[in-house]
Amino acid sequence: MSLPLSPAYDLVVVGSGPTGSTYVREVFEQHPGARILVVEAGPRISDPPGGHVKNIADDERRAQAQRASEGPSPASPGRPGTRLLAAPDMPAAAVSTNVGGMGAHWTAACPRPGDGERIPFIPAAEMDQHLARAEQLLHVSADAFDDAPFADEVRHRLARHFDDGRPASRRVAPMPLAVTTRPDGSRTWSGTDVVLGSAARDSRVELADRCLCLRVRYEGGVVTGVVVRDLSDGGAGQETEIAASAVVVAADALRTPQLLHASGIRPAALGRYLNDQPQVVFAVRLPDDVVATHDAVTDRTRDEDGGIVPQSGVSWVPYTDDQPFHGQVMQLDASPVPLADTTPVQPGSIVGLGWFCAKDVTSEDRITFADDTNDAFGMPTATIHYRYTDRDLATIEAAKRAVTEAGTALGAPLDPAPFLLPAGSSLHYQGTTRMGPTDGDTSVCDTFSRVWNTVGLWVAGNNVIPTATACNPTLTSVALASRGARSLVEHLLRRETAATVPPSRT
C-alpha cells in the first residue's frame, strides 16, 4: 500500500502475525467505532491476505510466496519462508517478513502449557478462559487428523511408555492443531486470515503492507502515534507520521525490542531473557507387521484447491516438571526430519520425533542493538547473545534419552542417534519483552501487556511470555494478546469519554 494513509487512527498495530491480528479482531469486535491500521514491513503473499502458504495448491506459487517472505537482500534463506540472521551465537535464528508473519508458515501446533510452563501470576482459571478464546480464534482442533494412518498405533505405543504416573491433562494425546475441516473432509491450515475473521474485510480496518514502522512517538510518557516509511518503491519513501490513541507492537521477539529501542523506549529488561527452545530430533520407521495391518492409502497430500488430505498424524507428549520437554511426533510430510532414503514407503509409516526443551532462562541471553549502524531495513543493527548453561546441557541429554526411548517404542531408528539442531531452529523465540507482576528490572510490560511507564503502548507476541516453556508458544501468546486487548479497549473508551466530557465550571 502506498502512503500517505489517513493521518490518525484509534489503534495502530505494528506486525500482522497471529498476536497482532488478535488485537485487531478483539478491538474490532469490542469497540465498533474504532478505526484500526495494521502496519506490515513485508508484502502480501496470499489471497486472502494472511493465509497459510500450505493452503496454496500450486507448488510454484507456494514457493514464490515463501521466497517473498524472506525479506530484503542480502538475505540468507533458512527454512522455506524465512531468512537467517547470521547470528553466531544462534546460527539458525530466522525471521519471516510478510503479511501474516510466521502465521503464514507455522506448523499450527497449539498445545496448552502445563506445570511450570504456566504463568504463575495470572490466575489459572482466568488464563484457561483466555486459552479457550485463543483456541476459538485459531480454529484449534484435537481430532482433525484422527483418521491419519497409524496415528492410533503411534499414540498407543507412546502412551504405554510415557503415561504412567501422569495426570490426565499431561498424557499422550493428539496434537491440538489450528486447522479448519471442510465438508469433504479436507483441511486447511489456519493463518492470520482465520484470526482476523470479518475484520479483514471491513473498511474500519486498513492494512498497509510494505510499510515499515521506524519509531513509536510519545510525549510525556503518552503514546501519540508512529513514524512509518513506504517500502513499496524500494524503501526510498519519505517518513510519515501517523497519529494514534494506542499502539501495539507485535513485530516478533527479535524486532519488537528493536523497534522499542529505536523509539527510545528502553526499560532495563528490553531484549533480555531471550528464550529459544533447544530441539532434539530423531526419526523411525514403523515395524513391517504394523504397516501390514493397514490398507494402503494414496500418497496424495493436497487437493487441487489447497485442502490438506488427512494423512499426517501429529501426536503430543506433553511437558511435565519431571520431564521438562515437549514431544511433537509427526508423520509423513509433516515430519521435520528429511529422509535420505528415497525408497517409496507407506504414507504415515515414517515418524519424525522432535523434543523441545525448556531453556534455563537468564538475563544474559539477550538481543542488543547498535545506535551507530543499521540493518537492511534501516533499523538498529541487532546482535544476539546466547548460550546453553550447564542445566541446559543436562536437559538436552535427558531429552536425547527420552526421544530415543520414544523412537524405540515406535519402531526401527533411521538415524544412529538423536541429534540437537542448531540454536534458533525452533523459531519459538520468547521473553525479550516479557511481562511481570510489578514494575522492575525483570519485565518490560505488565500482566496486560502494557509497557511500563508508557501510556497507550502494548507489546504482543511470544516475546511477552515470561516462563521457561517447551511447548509451541503461539496459543499462549494469542491468549495473552486477547487478554491485553480488553485493557486496550478500556483505554480507548476512557479517552473517548474524557474527550466528550465538558470541563467543569469553578
Measured CA to CA, the distance from residue 322 to residue 502 in angstroms comes to: 60
> Which one-letter amino acid corresponds to residue 40?
E
Measured CA to CA, the distance from residue 189 to residue 42 in angstroms comes to: 21
Other beta carbons within 10 angstroms of residue 160's beta carbon come to 11
Q: Which residues contact 373 (CB under 8 A, 6 or more apart)?
A: 380, 381
- The residue with cell 501468546 is 477
Q: Which residues contact 262 (CB under 8 A, 6 or more apart)?
A: 214, 215, 369, 379, 380
Measured CA to CA, the distance from residue 255 to residue 401 in angstroms comes to: 35
Dihedral (CA of 137, 141, 142, 148) sign? negative
SS3 53: helix
Q: Is 105 a catalytic residue?
A: no
> Which one-letter amino acid corresponds to residue 80?
P
Class of residue 180 by CB neighbours under 10 A (exposed 0-12, middle 13-18, buried 19+): middle
Strand partners, 356: 279, 326
**Terminal alpha carbon distance of the chain:** 50
**HEC readout, 279-314:** EEEEEEECCHHHHHCCCCCCCCCECCCCCECCCCCE
Class of residue 453 by CB neighbours under 10 A (exposed 0-12, middle 13-18, buried 19+): exposed
Measured CA to CA, the distance from residue 235 to residue 335 in angstroms comes to: 38
Task: Give which of 433, 429, 456, 455 is closest to 445, Cα–Cα.
Answer: 433
Among 139, 261, 326, 428, the active-site one is 428
Query: What is the β-pairing status of strands 187-189 and 412-413?
Result: unpaired
SS3 365: coil
- The residues assigned a catalytic role are 428
